[in-house]
Amino acid sequence: MTKTVLVTGGTGLVGKALETVIKERNTSDVWYFAGSKDGDLTVLTETKALYEKVKPTHVIHLAAMVGGLFYNMNNNLDFLRKNLQINDNVLQTAFEHGCVKVVSCLSTCIFPDKTTYPIDETMVHNGPPHDSNFGYSYAKRLIDVQNRAYFEKNGSVFTSVIPCNIFGPHDNFKPEVSHVIPGMIYRMHKLINEDTATKEEDKVFTVFGSGKPLRQFIYSLDLAKLMLWVLEDYDKVDPIILSVDESDEVTILQVAASIAKAFNFKGKIVCDTSKADGQYKKTASNKKLRTLKPDFKFSNFEESINTSVKWFIENYETARK
């Protein structure tokens, strides 16, 4: 069966990675990568118009209001309302159009703040998420609730993936909304290139917070490959965590050191402990993924950081910043 796949939020980090991976495949499927120019998904009429235009048989739902720690902390209401509107419009319209499958993208931040580790797919609703991003987290959790409700009432195969922190080419580097890796890449580039009066050995790169929080990071092209597998071969409504192994977890300070190495930065790295750390850890188990797809090989973290930094430098003028 030839698929027509609508990718909402298709011009962002994961959408661009999907586009790259698909170009490497020999497929007769039709892919439409929708961006903001294609319609405001918080508006039902515009969402319906997009579906009428594309006529998808399958949907990969990436569109969301997103942002880093500090942007989330100050805008929880907006994150809640806008993402609830987007998700309801996308899923209901997919149902009305008879879409065979919808794969939505969640986040590990939806898991309870107070929990045991590692977290797994059964623990999503076991308690409140971290206070810093509760608006975004609850909106994303409710996709899982909606998926179950659509299946219970209509048998719809609507499912979701839960990736760990994503990074790679085409990321959003805007300081006020970026996540940790693109945010650091942007600030490192600015420090190196804009302060020409100071010797590089005397420059200081500041890590926001203590640098101690632990995170797992997945390269966007790895995530794209796994999402295609979910679209084609994973037929459960229950969500699945798409994450690197627990042993690949790194501290925020280690991330800063890897970015500094990619830039060949000669200065010092310091931590500003007056800034919030957010959640200390959210270690995720990929046991379910490893059971179903045991041979998948994740990209090397350092090499992926190097590729991401190189892409940003080469595409500085057009990158989102």
What are the residue ranges spanned by the domains of the chain? 4-169+217-247+283-300
CA distance 294 to 226: 12
Per-position DSSP letters for 21-87, written without gaps between them: HHHTS----EEEE--GGG--TTSHHHHHHHHHHH--SEEEE-------HHHHHH-HHHHHHHHHHHH
DSSP code of 210? -
Tell whether domain 4-169+217-247+283-300 is in CATH 3.40.50.720.
yes
Please list the pLDDT of the chain residue by residue as tens digits (321 residues): 799 999 999 999 999 999 999 999 888 999 999 999 999 999 999 999 999 999 999 999 999 987 666 566 677 899 999 999 999 999 999 999 999 999 999 998 899 989 999 999 999 999 999 888 899 999 999 999 999 999 999 999 999 999 999 999 999 998 877 889 999 999 999 999 987 888 989 999 999 999 999 999 999 999 999 999 999 999 999 999 999 999 999 999 999 999 999 999 999 999 999 998 877 888 999 999 999 999 999 999 999 999 999 999 999 999 998
Determine whether 136 is an active site residue: yes
Inter-residue contact 121 to 162 (CB < 8 Å) = yes
Catalytic residue from among 51, 71, 136, 150: 136
CA distance 17 to 107: 17
pTM of the model: 0.93
